[in-house]
Structure 1
Amino acid sequence: MAIQKSKVETFQVSGSRQDWLSKCEKALHNAGFKSVLVNSELSLLSAKISTLTLSGSIKIFISESDSGFINLRAESSANIDNIYALFRSPNNKILEMFSKNIQ
């Protein structure tokens, strides 16, 4: 069984929840994530990534804040029991892949 760690990053954006649901879905596809699942009722997205150097997943929770902004809570979980994890955090890489493709 693989050893995994998690990391959470939160973004605060303006717009509607439905717009960000579709933007996040598009960002996951553009970043190369597979098995992208979207639950619009719960405002939740999940996806998996598996490459030679990286194996993990991401969940994105979309909620409205009291100040009228949209909160995107991205939670990555990645295997850290490989040689590549010694050089660069797999969780940072997963979150970076998502955040670079979000627009």
Structure 2
Amino acid sequence: MLTIDTCSSADVDRLLGLADQFLDDWAEDAVQGGKPDEDYEQRSTEWKVIRPLLVSAPTMFKGLKEIARIRQSSSDPVAICCAALARTALDGFLIAEGT
């Protein structure tokens, strides 16, 4: 079973490929009507903006976990602040996953 901890870049690529295929299929239907499908155009534009963020999610997650880990051995105020931000972000990932 795919979880946030086991999700790899390959998993993300596969899942994003499904969304890409959906939009490609929709694009064919959007052109067949003779005029542009405004909903398709809007969703396609949104996808182009958010897709790079989703591609980088596994790397960002690993980075957040590393920041939180490093903080445990540091008393530096900046490290503590960064770790708090990382912990908040990690908690958000876990809430989104339902754990």
Question: What's the TM-score, normalizing by structure 1?
Answer: 0.30
Return the index of the structure with the highest Cα Rg: 2
Question: What's the TM-score, normalizing by structure 2?
Answer: 0.31
Identify which of structures 1 and 2 has the higher relative contact order when contacts are C-alpha pairs closer than 8 Å and 6+ apart.
1
